[in-house]
Copies of this chain bind each other. A is one copy, B any other.
Amino acid sequence: VKVNLADALATLDETFSPRIVGTMNDYKLMVVKVHGEFVWHTHPETDDFFLVLSGELTIQMRDGDVVLGPGELFVVPRGVEHCPKGNAEVLLIEPVGTVNTGDAGPSALTAPERSL
C-alpha cells in the first residue's frame, strides 16, 4: 500500500513520537513531528536518516549545526552525537529496533516502536 506522507502526518498530534508507516527490509520508515528540542544522543550501531517534509529542522552536532528545510536530507553518521530541534515534519529511517533516544537512556522522550 502506498503512503501519502502528508496524510499520515495529519493524523498525528504528538511531537517526538515517531510512527512507522512502512518497512524496507529490516528498516522502519517513520514520520515524526518535531517541536522544540529533543535530547542529545548517539546511535552507536547505525546511521540515522532525516528528510524534512515541511518546516525547519536543525540537527545540532558537537561540530556544528545542519539546518534542513523541505526536500533536504541529512544522514547522521553512526556514533555522532546529535540533538534535533525545530518545528518540522520529518521522514526518519532507521533499522528496526533502533531506540529514538539512542544511548541517552530511557526518558519521557523515549518512544515505543509503533505504527500510525
Residues of chain A at the chain B interface (Cβ within 8 Å):
1-6, 21-25, 27, 29, 46-49, 51, 53, 66-68, 71-75, 78, 91, 93, 95
Contact = CB atoms under 8 A, between A and B. Distances in A.
A75 B5 contact: no
24 contacts: A1-B74, A2-B66, A2-B67, A2-B74, A3-B72, A3-B73, A3-B74, A4-B72, A5-B72, A6-B71, A21-B73, A22-B73, A22-B75, A23-B75, A24-B48, A24-B49, A24-B75, A25-B46, A25-B47, A25-B95, A29-B49, A51-B51, A51-B91, A53-B71
A81 B46 CA distance: 30
A18 to B, nearest CB: 15
Q: Is the interface of A mostly helix, strand, loop or mixed?
A: strand
B2 A72 contact: yes
Q: So how many copies of this chain end up in the complex?
A: 2
A54 to B, nearest CB: 10
A46 to B, nearest CB: 6
Contacts of A71: 4-6, 53
Most B CB contacts (10 A, CB to CB) among A67, A75, A95 go to A75
